[in-house]
Amino acid sequence: MEKPEKYKELSLMPALITCKCPRCRVGKVYEHGPYSLTNRKILPKCEHCSLIYEKEPGYFYAAMYVGYAFIVAELVTAALGTNILSGSDNPWVYLGIMLPLVAVLSPFNYRYSRILLLYFLTPGLRYHPEMS
Ligand SMILES: [Zn+2]
């Protein structure tokens, strides 16, 4: 009896953090890094397994909801941290911390909201180790 071929399984977290394709975990989803000023576009398809990332026009609009959850979690954490560390009641202190935080974290939110949408919220899209 022939043994099934053993595939090298790639871990989820490194693939997710480095924004690799959710199906093969080898190909890149983004062409450039998160803080690239020149290009933040998602590649049209995986260069390794040819998965088309945008399944239909406007597919990534759903990533707005994931990004919304990110920003709420970040702002609540920042507000609690500011309150604990400064104890201030002045709203300008909170605004002065939160506005730069939103600007600094927006590339992260943009990038990982789409990655989480692809990895966990896309029906029928799962990891195929035989494509690695
Ligand atoms: Zn792929």
Ligand 1 midpoint to CA 108 (Å): 22
- Asked if residue 1 belongs to a domain, the reply is no
Q: How many domains does the chain have?
A: 1
Ligand 1 midpoint to CA 46 (Å): 5
Q: Evaluate if residue 12 carries a pLDDT over 60.
A: yes
- Asked if residue 2 belongs to a domain, the reply is no
Q: By residue range, what is the domain housing residue 94? A: 12-131
- Asked if residue 123 belongs to a domain, the reply is yes
Ligand 1 midpoint to CA 109 (Å): 22
Ligand 1 midpoint to CA 119 (Å): 12
* Neighbour-count burial for 91-109, b at 16+ CB within 10 Å, e otherwise: eeebeebbeebeeebeeeb
Model's pTM, two decimal places?
Answer: 0.83
Biggest alpha carbon distance in the chain?
Answer: 74
- Asked if residue 87 belongs to a domain, the reply is yes
Radius of gyration of the chain (CA): 19
- Asked if residue 32 belongs to a domain, the reply is yes
- Asked if residue 80 belongs to a domain, the reply is yes
Ligand 1 midpoint to CA 65 (Å): 24
Residue 129 pLDDT: 87
Q: Evaluate if residue 34 carries a pLDDT over 70.
A: no
**pLDDT tens by residue, 70-112:** 999 999 999 999 999 999 999 999 999 999 999 999 888 999 9
| Nearest residue to 73 (alpha-carbon basis) of 33, 35, 93, 102 | 102
